[in-house]
Amino acid sequence: MNKKTIKDIDVAGKKCLVRVDFNVPIVDGVITDLNRIEGAIPTIKYLSDKGAKVILCSHMGRPKGEFNMKYSLRPVAVKLAEMLGKPVTFATDVIGQDAQAKVAACKNGEIVLLENLRFHNEEEKNDKGFCEALSKFCEIYVNDAFGTAHRAHASTAGIVQYGFAKVAVAGFLIGRELDIMGGALENPKRPFVAILGGAKVSDKIGVINNLLEKVDTLIIGGAMAYTFFAAEGRKVGNSLCEPDKFGLAKELIEKAKAKGVKFLLPADNVCSDKFDANANTQIVHGEIPDGWQGLDIGPETCRLYAEAVKNAGTVIWNGPMGVFEMEKFAQGTKAVAKALAESGAITIIGGGDSAAAVTQLGYADKMTHISTGGGASLEFLEGIELPGVACLNDKE
């Protein structure tokens, strides 16, 4: 994608305000998942090594505009310093006296982390005055938080949109997201296969529509498959489905036919007599009887979907195949993850539950790319312009 990155500019001696995504889970003061911090380290290290004054900013949780220490980024500053092997100065506010003093004292190559942006309501409201205050810490704006790039907040877009940051570039994390996912959408190695799961068709309408213009095969799993079944007049028992989307489901199936895209729906389903980890189950081919609900794709479908990705050139996967958090209904998601790990394809995991599943199953290192943005990657796959990317400077 045609956006400047930190490698395209001289950062030495400049105050670089870097929007990172340090929205990490903390239990009893301990960070339980370091992925987002690890993802930001190459950009932080590069800027520091090049002699920039690195000013980091992030949100954490939903503190609703109040200084709530439950959502403080202080533990992140401690862990980041440990991971970098160098000091990280922590500012106890965002744009107040402590932040101003610590940024003013920051020397070339040093790092300051500001307190949680969302301690100010103005962050999510994209308030012009807040953007101006943040810009005092910024000669160069760097966005490296893909997970929030679909939000038009002060720190993700407003600071540039209002004209306070003239130089605005991508960090390595966003650069990689744009290169890999953008490359797959614009010039994929074929055959190009997309796998979409999750509960609702309504969540993925735009994604399906956009991908039908680009893919050779579209695979559907998760509860959204039952909306397509029911739209075709098949019985789905008590399975989750969206009757108000039947017309749209038919249109998407027709669009796939017209475009010559293989549109794969489950051939069999793991069905349950109730939504419970210990419920009675049966494998059902075809229509689902009354009193039963589909909660995962069946073994035949696992084989069918694995075969579809076997010789693929590029595969994008977003959304689990069943109720992955219950072991009885996790086999479909496991089978798809295994098939992708064993394929020779460029494999792109679109964040969210799919990313969690791949990581839990130990296949993360077998995938080409695991997106750091759930909502952002979905909107990107849908073809929607992301505010946090659109605001960055174009390459010459």
317 CB-near residues (< 8 Å, 6+ apart): 194, 195, 196, 197, 336, 340, 347, 348, 349, 350, 354
Q: Which residues of 50-71 are buried (b: 16+ CB within 10 A; e: fewer)?
A: bbbbbbbbbbbeebeeeeeeeb
Calpha distance 126→138 (Å, rounded): 17
Same domain, 219 and 107: no
Q: Does residue 97 sit in helix, strand or coil?
A: helix
| Residue 273, pLDDT score | 96
Calpha distance 342→267 (Å, rounded): 22
Contact status, residue 261 vs residue 218, Cβ threshold 8 Å: yes
User: Is 381 a member of any domain?
Assistant: no
Q: Which amino acid is at 292?
A: W
Same domain, 146 and 295: no
| Residue 354, pLDDT score | 86
Of the listed 61, 65, 375, 383, which one is catalytic?
375
Residue found by looking up tokens 């040093």 in the block: 110
Same domain, 117 and 10: yes
Span 24-68, pLDDT tens digits: 999 988 998 888 899 999 999 999 999 999 999 999 999 999 999
**Among candidate residues 322, 344, 366, the one where a domain is terminated:** 344
Span 240-251, pLDDT tens digits: 999 999 999 999
User: Is 389 a member of any domain?
Assistant: no
- Counted domains in the chain: 2
| Residue 1, pLDDT score | 66
Question: Which residues in the chain come in under a pLDDT of 70?
Answer: 1, 351
User: Is 154 a member of any domain?
Assistant: yes
Neighbours of 93 (CB within 10 A): 16
Same domain, 169 and 221: no
Same domain, 216 and 128: no
Same domain, 171 and 195: no
| Residue 382, pLDDT score | 84
Same domain, 61 and 155: yes
Same domain, 278 and 140: no
Same domain, 155 and 206: no
User: Is 181 a member of any domain?
Assistant: no
Same domain, 246 and 286: yes
**CA separation (Å) from 212 to 174, 217, 228, 255?**
25, 8, 15, 8
Same domain, 315 and 228: yes
Of the listed 3, 14, 15, 36, which one is catalytic?
36
* pTM confidence score: 0.87
Calpha distance 376→36 (Å, rounded): 15
> What is the separation, in whole angstroms, between the first and last Cα of the chain?
12
Span 150-206, pLDDT tens digits: 999 999 999 999 999 999 999 999 999 888 888 888 899 999 999 999 888 888 888
Of the listed 158, 171, 222, 352, which one is catalytic?
352
Contact status, residue 191 vs residue 311, Cβ threshold 8 Å: yes
Calpha distance 102→111 (Å, rounded): 10
Residue found by looking up tokens 């796998």 in the block: 195
Q: Is 352 a catalytic residue?
A: yes
Contact status, residue 298 vs residue 266, Cβ threshold 8 Å: yes
Domain hosting 27: range is: 6-176
Q: Which of 321, 325, 361 is nearest to 342 (CA)?
A: 361
User: Is 340 a member of any domain?
Assistant: yes
User: Is 349 a member of any domain?
Assistant: no
User: Is 90 a member of any domain?
Assistant: yes
Contact status, residue 44 vs residue 83, Cβ threshold 8 Å: no
Query: Listing from the earlier edge strand, what are the strands of the sheet with 111-113?
Result: 89-90, 111-113, 53-57, 15-19, 140-143, 168-170
Of the listed 4, 45, 74, 200, which one is catalytic?
200
Q: Is 200 a catalytic residue?
A: yes
How distant is the alpha carbon of residue 107 from its chain centre?
A: 34
Same domain, 44 and 157: yes
